[in-house]
Amino acid sequence: MPERTPSPAPPSTPPRDTLLVNKRKTQRQATSRVAFAEMLIPEDDPLLDFLPYCHRAPRGNSITPDVQRAFIYQLAMTGIVTQAATKVGKSLEALYKLRERPGAEDFRRAWDAALEWGRLRLEDCAMERAIHEGAHNPRANAMICWVLQHRSRHMVDARQVKRGHWLWERIHHEITGRWSEEEEEEA
């Protein structure tokens, strides 16, 4: 894989090249170039710092590096692959096919990261809506219960982290380079 040399950023970060995005209310109505409006993609977004897949012989309907970046940007904004694909005017099949191509590993990594950002954004929106409507809307209470139940399963209460806890063991190993069981055997 060729090494990528970062280009120096200009003092003020103007938006990246504009890209056409679907502006129709009913997304499937976008059948011509007239149905698309310009979308500005920020230059300094760390999610967009990936090496896009470059086609050997690009055609008119190829998924260019700019479209790949726009797709990743939209995916991080929405968290839904279908919506992001529709916004950039590409089919799900073409995007998934590109994702699985040899040489598109960095695009795949950016896709996964954008999905995680989108999932966190959706959780935050659901939490905000549930909090604002919770007192008056019983469905919002069910939503906040669901979000709390499924949100951040990996998070651990710091009061529970003591010797013998898996997180304590992992941190201890990262600091000392040894597992606590090895120390007990030596003692």
* 8 against 95, higher pLDDT: 95
Residue 140 pLDDT: 67
Instruction: Please state whether the predicted TM-score (pTM) of the whole model is above 0.85.
Output: no
Residue 135 pLDDT: 63
- Contact criterion met (CB below 8 Å) for 77 and 114: no
pLDDT, one tens digit per residue, over 94-151 is: 999 999 999 889 999 999 999 988 888 887 887 787 777 766 777 667 766 776 676 6
| Per-residue pLDDT at 86 exceeds 50 | yes
- Please tell me the distance from the alpha carbon of residue 65 to that of residue 69, in angstroms, as a whole number: 6
pLDDT, one tens digit per residue, over 32-77 is: 555 555 666 777 777 787 888 888 877 777 888 888 898 999 899 8
Residue 37 pLDDT: 59
CA angle 130, 131, 134 (to 5 degrees): 65
Residue 108 pLDDT: 92
- Which residue, 32, 34, 27, 44, is CA-closest to 78? 27
44 exposure class (CB count in 10 Å sphere: 0-12, 13-18, 19+): exposed
* 175 against 183, higher pLDDT: 175
